[in-house]
């Protein structure tokens, strides 16, 4: 694991497997469906187990029926992850 401290230690950049980090929260580059997918999003859902997916389904059914808009974020439990929470956010689609 490689760490780089910035801003007098207020920000730490780490190169590691996000699914095994024992931290308060991790940030997931999710898709708007919140149902998992490929890459890191899929890895987080697989490692975290059904609790994350259940909370994502609840969020979709109660708050974001059309999907999570780009720029918004929601938090779920970490499920089986060592992280306590997962912050799911959808980035913009780049057409350039």
Q: Which CATH number covers residue 66? A: 3.40.220.10
Residue 12 belongs to some domain of the structure: no
Give me the percent of the chain exceeding a pLDDT of 70. Answer: 98
Instruction: Catalytic residue, from 3, 17, 41, 72: name it.
Output: 41
Region of poorest pLDDT, from 12-21, 45-54, 57-66: 12-21
Q: For 23, phi and psi rounded to 5 degrees? A: -135, 170
Residue 13 belongs to some domain of the structure: no
Quickly state the pLDDT bin for 58 (edges 50, 70, 90): very high
CA distance 34 to 56: 6
Residue 30: other Cβ atoms inside 10 A: 25
> What are 24-57's pLDDT values in tens digits?
999 999 999 999 988 999 999 999 999 999 999 9
Region of poorest pLDDT, from 5-19, 44-58, 60-74: 5-19
| Residue 41 is among the residues annotated as catalytic for this protein | yes
pLDDT value, residue 52: 98
pTM for this entry:
0.87
Cβ(70)–Cβ(93) under 8 Å?
A: yes
Residue 27 belongs to some domain of the structure: yes
pLDDT at 1 over 60: no
Range of the domain at 78: 18-89
Residue 96 belongs to some domain of the structure: no
- The structural domain count of the chain equals 1
């Amino acid at each position: 694991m490689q760490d780089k401290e910035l801003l007098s230690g207020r920000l730490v950049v780490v190169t590691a497997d996000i699914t095994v980090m024992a931290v308060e929260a991790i940030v997931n580059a999710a898709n708007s469906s919140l149902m998992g997918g490929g890459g890191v999003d899929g890895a987080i859902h697989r490692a975290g187990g059904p609790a994350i997916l259940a909370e994502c389904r609840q969020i979709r059914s109660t708050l974001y029926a059309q999907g999570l808009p780009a720029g918004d974020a929601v938090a779920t439990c970490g499920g089986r992850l060592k992280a306590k929470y997962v912050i799911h956010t959808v980035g913009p689609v780049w057409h350039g």
